[in-house]
């Protein structure tokens, strides 16, 4: 089943959180150190945020091509 951009974004945020936790550690002297770079995950997060802004959170890439706007259902009596 295809995943929406919002679901992909949530997955990236989870991966970033887990990577940050595993990349950071404390030495015996009490110093907090962080290893590695998260630039690839951050770049993917930013790419997905741009698509969410353009198409909406529930967009599935390749399924529809037109950006969707906000839809309001209003009734005037």
Question: Could you list the pLDDT tens digit for every one of the 77 residues in the chain?
Answer: 688 888 998 998 888 888 877 777 777 888 876 665 677 888 888 998 998 888 888 888 777 555 555 566 666 76
Spatial CA neighbour of 9 closest among 61, 44, 59: 44
Contact in structure between 55 and 6 (CB atoms under 8 Å): no
DSSP state of 30: S
What is the pLDDT, as a whole number, of residue 74? 66
pTM of the full structure: 0.55
What is the pLDDT, as a whole number, of residue 3? 85
The string of DSSP letters for 21-66 reads HHHEEE-TTS-EEE-S--HHHHHHHHHHHHHHHHH-TT--TTT--S
């Amino acid at each position: 089943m295809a995943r929406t951009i919002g679901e992909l974004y949530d997955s990236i945020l989870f991966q970033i959180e887990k990577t940050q936790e595993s990349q950071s550690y404390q030495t015996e002297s009490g110093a907090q150190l962080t290893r590695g770079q998260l630039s690839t995950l951050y770049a993917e997060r930013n790419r997905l945020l741009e698509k969410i802004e353009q198409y909406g959170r529930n967009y599935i890439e390749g399924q529809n091509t037109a950006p969707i706007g906000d839809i309001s259902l209003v009734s005037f009596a």
